Amino acid sequence: MRDIDDRAGDWLGALADLHPHTGRAWIIGVTGNPGAGKSTLTDQLIGHYRKQGLRVGVVAVDPSSPFTGGAILGDRIRMQRHALDAEVFIRSMATRGQLGGLSRSTADVVRVLDAWGAAVVIVETVGVGQDELEIARLAHSTLVVMAPGMGDEVQAIKAGILEIADLFVVNKADREGADATVRDLEMMVGMSHELFHAGSHSFGHHGAQLDREAERRASADEWFIPVLKTVAARGEGVAALLEAIAKHRAWLGQTRAGEERRASRARDELRLVFRDLLVEDAMAKVGDALESAAERVLAREFDPYRAARELLARYRSA
Ligand SMILES: Nc1nc2c(ncn2[C@@H]2O[C@H](COP(=O)(O)OP(=O)(O)OP(=O)(O)O)[C@@H](O)[C@H]2O)c(=O)[nH]1
Ligand SMILES: [Mg+2]
């Protein structure tokens, strides 16, 4: 793990060696606004999976506080009752801007936990920002956690979270407004469901028979995003959430949409790794030229586009 973490030694080789031992873990993304209760919920999920005798890995990604580590500490405390369990491995990630993106390092850690034999790997991310969306796309089942009365639904739409949600969780259901949040989300889910079917009706002009067939296939292939209520702090609703996750997993295993999901995960992951290797390679080859080009941009001799193109030319001829 250390080598892979530090990108030291033959870390790429180490990751490649792990590959045959990966692919068994179910990766659950837990994303949502700060304070929605993601860590508390994750702690509950760990507890339930441990009761089933499963080995669990957790990656808590918190790029927002690289210096204080405050929230990470919170995450640790929230999951502390599992800290001494040898079948649970909790890992925090708190660095952004390192060479090689956060999404990539997270993907690497997930692989290591998968190879370690975790049956479930839970990845907690705050649902804002490009890195987080990228990380969420690496999960098999993504839970978007919201707390009532915080306008989280509106935020979620803005942040593009809707597209990555496989399940909605309205946590803190002990608070006022939980039912209203559930209704809002259900309405949103219902609307996108109708849009989906409106899309499938474009087959219509081929005749009613084909139309019905398309509809049957579509509904078998479509995942209707459930909206679940939990009180993570008291463990309420967590068993139902586990069931819903299991259903999503079964659905992915049985449908063409599931196949597509697996294909796009593979593509996304490869793209991440390739992009990172390219950047590393380019940075190494360009070397100090980046700094001097930056100075010329600063002096307004060059615009950044021209400077970047020259760096690219230098890289290509290196
Ligand atoms: N009332 C109530 N409070 C809860 C519930 N679940 C969590 N909390 C509390 O909400 C606060 C935030 O919970 P966390 O689990 O740390 O939330 P988080 O989403 O992981 O937060 P960040 O990692 O900082 O983004 C804590 O004080 C929890 O005790 C719940 O179901 N009801
Ligand atoms: Mg947390």
Distance between CA atoms of 31 and 61, rounded to whole angstroms?
Answer: 10
Q: Is the pLDDT of residue 270 over 50?
A: yes
Tokens of 200: 């499938």
Q: Calculate the CA 272 to chain-centre distance.
A: 13
In this structure, are residues 78 and 92 in contact, taking their beta carbons and an 8 Å threshold? no
106 lines ligand 1 (CB under 6 A): no
268 C-alpha vs ligand 2 centroid, how far in Å? 25
In the predicted model, what is the mean pLDDT of residues 263-270? 88
Best of 31, 39, 143, 228 for a ligand 1 pocket test (most atoms within 8 Å of beta carbon): 39
164 C-alpha vs ligand 1 centroid, how far in Å? 22
37 C-alpha vs ligand 2 centroid, how far in Å? 7
Strands (E), the chain: 26-32, 56-61, 88-93, 120-126, 141-146, 167-170, 227-229
Among the ranges given (123-127, 134-138, 215-219, 238-242), the one the predictor scored with the smallest mean pLDDT? 215-219
Best of 30, 39, 40 for a ligand 1 pocket test (most atoms within 8 Å of beta carbon): 40
β partners of residue 141: 28
Q: Is the pLDDT of residue 127 over 80?
A: no
Tokens of 71: 């929230």
Q: Calculate the CA 277 to chain-centre distance.
A: 21
229 lines ligand 1 (CB under 6 A): no
According to CATH, the topology of domain 2-255 is Rossmann fold (3.40.50)
Find, among 226, 172, 178, the residue nearest to 40 by Cα. Answer: 172
DSSP code of 202?
G
Q: Is the pLDDT of residue 6 over 90?
A: no
* Strand order across the 227-229 sheet: 88-93, 56-61, 120-126, 26-32, 141-146, 167-170, 227-229
Q: Residue 301's pLDDT is what?
A: 93
Q: Is the pLDDT of residue 75 over 60?
A: no
Nearest atom (ligand 1) to Cα of 74: 16
171 C-alpha vs ligand 1 centroid, how far in Å? 9
Find, among 88, 45, 41, the residue nearest to 246 by Cα. Answer: 45
Please state the pTM of the whole predicted model.
Answer: 0.83
233 lines ligand 1 (CB under 6 A): yes
Write the residue with the smallest CA distance to atom 30 of ligand 1.
172
Summarize pLDDT for 141-180 with one digit per residue, the tens: 999 999 998 776 666 666 667 778 899 999 999 999 999 9
171 lines ligand 1 (CB under 6 A): yes
Q: Which residue has the higher pLDDT, 153 or 136?
A: 136
Nearest atom (ligand 1) to Cα of 43: 15
Q: Which residue has the tokens 């509904």?
A: 219
Q: Give the range with max mean pLDDT: 2-16, 192-206, 299-313.
A: 299-313
Q: Which residue has the higher pLDDT, 145 or 66?
A: 145
Among the ranges given (23-32, 95-104, 238-247), the one the predictor scored with the smallest mean pLDDT? 95-104
Angle at which helix 256-286 crosses helix 238-254, to 10 degrees, equals 90
127 C-alpha vs ligand 2 centroid, how far in Å? 11
Tokens of 296: 């010329």
Confidence at 126, pLDDT banded by 50, 70, 90: confident
Q: Residue 65's pLDDT is what?
A: 47
Q: Residue 39's pLDDT is what?
A: 92
Confidence at 73, pLDDT banded by 50, 70, 90: low
96 C-alpha vs ligand 1 centroid, how far in Å? 24
DSSP code of 225?
-
Half-sphere exposure of 66 (CA within 13 A, CB side): 6
Write the residue with the smallest CA distance to atom 2 of ligand 1.
172
In the predicted model, what is the mean pLDDT of residues 192-214? 55
Distance between CA atoms of 186 and 167, rounded to whole angstroms?
Answer: 11
Q: Residue 187's pLDDT is what?
A: 86
CA atoms 251, 252, 253, 259: torsion sign: positive
In the chain, the amino acid numbered 13 is G
Q: Is the pLDDT of residue 136 over 90?
A: no
Q: Is the pLDDT of residue 256 over 70?
A: yes
39 C-alpha vs ligand 1 centroid, how far in Å? 7
Question: pLDDT over 90 for what percent of the chain?
Answer: 46
